C-alpha cells in the first residue's frame, strides 16, 4: 500500500511511535527543509519529518553540517512546520548549540521550540552530551538521540566510513543507546553502523531505533535530496534512489530555456 494511503490520519506523537515499535510497525522518517516539500512529504505518509542540519550540505552547499546556525535551523523548521499536518516534526540542534553546557543547551532548545513550534529535537552523541539531554528532557522537550556516524563530529572521525566496526566502539555505542533510552529519549537514530549492531540495539531498547546506513531497524531515515536523486555525485551503498530528480529537473528546465529562447513560451493561451 503506498504510504500516502495511510489509514491513520491522526497527528503522529512520540507515544504513537512507541506503540508502532511495540506493534512491529515500521517508522518512515525523511528530511525536509522547506514548506512546499514538507507538504508533499507529509501527504505521502511519512511519519516523522526531520529538519536535519544536512540542510547545511544540501541547501547551502557546505562540505559539512558544522556551519549550520540556530537561526538557519529555526528558519527551515518554521517553514516545514507550516507544511505538516500529520507527521511528528523533529528539528536538529546544530553544532555548537548544546555542547558548551547543559544550561546553554536547554536555553537553545527552548528557543528552537518556541520559535518553530516543532514537536521534538535531535542531538548527536552519547554519554558526553547526557547532561544536556537530561536538562532538555526535564524542560518537557522530547529528544531523539543520534549515534554512530554523527556528522557534527566528522573532524574528529576524519572519515565518513562505517562506524563501530571494532568491539570497543560498538560496546560504547550500545551503552550510549541504553543511556539515552533510560534518560527518556523517545527514539535514537543510528547512522552507518554494522547491521548486526543495529539489531542488538533494536532488541535492547524499548524505544524506536531509526537507521540510516545501519540495516533493518524499527524505522529508516534518509535525506530527501539524496533519495530523490537530486545529487548524482552522492551514492553511498545504503542509499536507495527513488527518483532521478537531477535528470527530470534538468530536462524540464532545459525545455523551458529552449521554449523561452525560441519564443514558443508564452503562447496566446498563456497570455492575458
Ligand atoms: O541531518 C540529517 O539529515 C540527519 C539525518 C541524516 C539522520 O541527521
> Using CA atoms, how far apart are residues 91 and 63, in angstroms rounded to an integer?
20
Query: Which atom of ligand 1 approaches the CA of 50 most closely?
Result: 3
Q: Distance between CA atoms of 32 and 49, rounded to whole angstroms?
A: 6
User: Which three cell numbers, joined as nine digits, stand for 102?
Assistant: 547543559
Residue of the CA atom closest to atom 8 of ligand 1: 52
Residue range 220-233, pLDDT digits in tens: 999 999 999 999 89
Query: How far does residue 135's CA lie from ligand 1's centre (Å)?
Result: 23
Handedness of CA 21, 209, 73, 192 (dihedral sign): negative
Nearest CA, atom 4, ligand 1: 52
Selection from 71, 84, 91, 73 nearest residue 35 by Cα:
84
Q: Using an 8 Å Cβ cutoff, are 126 and 173 in contact?
A: yes
What is the reported pTM? 0.97
* pLDDT for position 8: 84
Q: Which of 238, 227, 237, 224 is nearest to 48 (CA)?
A: 224
Task: Identify the residue whose C-alpha is closest to ligand 1 atom 7.
Answer: 221
pLDDT of residue 2: 67
Say yes or no: CB of residue 93 within 6 Å of ligand 1. no
Cβ-contact 17, 187 below 8 angstroms: yes
* CA distance linking residue 252 with residue 257, whole number of Å: 9
Percentage of the chain exceeding pLDDT 90 = 96
Q: Is 182 helix (H, G, I), strand (E, B) or coil?
A: helix
Q: Hunting for cell 515499535 — which residue is that? A: 21
Dist. CA 54 → ligand 1 center (Å):
6
Decide if 19 is catalytic. no
Residue 147: phi, psi to the nearest 5?
A: -125, 170
Residues 150 and 125: beta-carbon distance below 8 Å:
yes
pLDDT in tens, 122-178: 999 999 999 999 999 999 999 999 999 999 999 999 999 999 999 999 999 999 999
Residue 85, class by beta-carbon neighbours within 10 Å (0-12 exposed, 13-18 middle, 19+ buried)?
Answer: exposed
β-strand pairing of 143-148 with 187-191? parallel
* pLDDT tens-digit map of 37-50: 999 999 999 999 99
CA triple 200-150-212, angle to 5 deg: 55
CA of 188 to the centre of ligand 1 (A): 12
Answer yes or no: is pLDDT of 1 > 70.
no
212 lines ligand 1 (CB under 6 A): yes
Provide the pLDDT confidence category of residue 6 given band limits of 50, 70 and 90.
confident
For the stretch 197-250, pLDDT in tens is 999 999 999 999 999 999 999 999 999 999 999 998 999 999 999 999 999 999
pLDDT tens, residue by residue, 10-39: 999 999 999 999 999 999 999 999 999 999
CA of 212 to the centre of ligand 1 (A): 8
Q: 259 with 266: CB under 8 angstroms?
A: no
Of 53, 77, 145, the one to substitute when testing ligand 1's pocket (max ligand atoms within 8 A of C-beta) is: 53
Tell me: cis bond preceding 266? Omega within 30 of 0 counts.
Answer: yes
Give yes or no for a contact between 29 and 36, defined as CB atoms under 8 angstroms apart: no
Please identify which of the residues 7, 71, 104, 191 carries the catalytic annotation: 191
User: Ligand 1 atom closest to Cα of 124?
Assistant: 8
| pLDDT (tens digit per residue) in 67-117 | 999 999 999 999 999 999 999 999 999 999 999 999 999 999 999 999 999
**C-alpha 8 to ligand 1 mean position (Å):** 26
What backbone phi and psi angles, to 5 degrees, belong to 209?
-110, 120
Cβ–Cβ < 8 Å for 117, 81: yes
Q: How far apart are CA 10 and CA 161, in angstroms?
A: 39
Relative to the CA of 221, which ligand 1 atom is closest?
7
Atom of ligand 1 nearest to the CA of 189: 7
Gap between the Cα atoms of 144 and 184, Å rounded: 9
Amino acid at each position: 500500500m503506498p504510504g500516502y494511503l495511510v489509514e491513520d490520519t491522526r497527528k503522529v506523537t512520540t507515544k504513537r511511535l512507541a506503540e508502532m515499535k511495540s506493534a512491529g510497525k515500521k517508522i518512515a522518517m525523511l528530511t525536509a527543509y522547506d514548506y512546499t516539500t514538507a507538504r508533499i512529504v507529509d501527504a505521502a505518509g511519512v511519519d516523522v519529518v526531520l529538519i536535519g542540519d544536512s540542510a547545511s550540505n544540501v541547501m547551502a552547499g557546505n562540505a559539512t553540517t558544522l556551519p549550520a546556525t540556530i537561526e538557519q535551523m529555526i528558519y527551515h523548521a518554521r517553514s516545514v512546520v507550516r507544511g505538516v499536518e500529520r507527521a511528528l516534526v523533529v528539528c536538529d540542534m546544530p553544532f555548537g548549540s548544546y555542547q558548551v553546557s547543559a544550561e546553554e543547551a536547554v536555553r537553545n532548545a527552548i528557543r528552537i521550540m518556541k520559535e518553530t513550534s516543532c514537536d521534538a529535537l535531535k542531538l548527536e552523541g552519547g554519554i558526553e552530551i547526557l547532561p544536556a539531554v537530561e536538562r532538555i528532557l526535564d524542560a518537557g522537550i522530547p529528544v531523539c538521540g543520534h549515534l554512530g556516524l554523527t556528522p557534527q563530529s566528522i573532524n574528529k572521525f576524519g572519515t565518513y566510513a562505517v562506524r563501530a566496526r571494532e568491539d570497543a566502539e560498538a560496546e560504547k555505542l550500545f551503552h550510549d543507546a541504553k543511556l539515552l533510552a533510560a534518560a527518556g529519549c523517545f527514539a535514537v537514530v543510528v547512522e552507518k553502523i554494522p547491521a548486526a549492531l543495529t539489531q542488538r540495539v533494536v532488541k535492547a531498547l524499548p524505544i524506536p531505533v531509526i537507521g540510516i546506513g545501519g540495516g533493518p531497524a524499527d524505522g529508516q531515515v534518509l535525506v530527501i535530496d539524496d533519495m530523490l536523486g537530486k545529487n548524482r555525485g552522492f551514492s553511498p551503498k545504503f542509499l536507495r534512489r527513488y527518483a532521478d530528480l537531477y535528470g527530470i529537473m534538468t530536462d524540464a528546465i532545459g525545455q523551458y530555456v529552449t521554449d523561452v529562447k525560441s519564443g514558443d513560451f508564452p503562447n496566446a493561451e498563456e497570455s492575458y
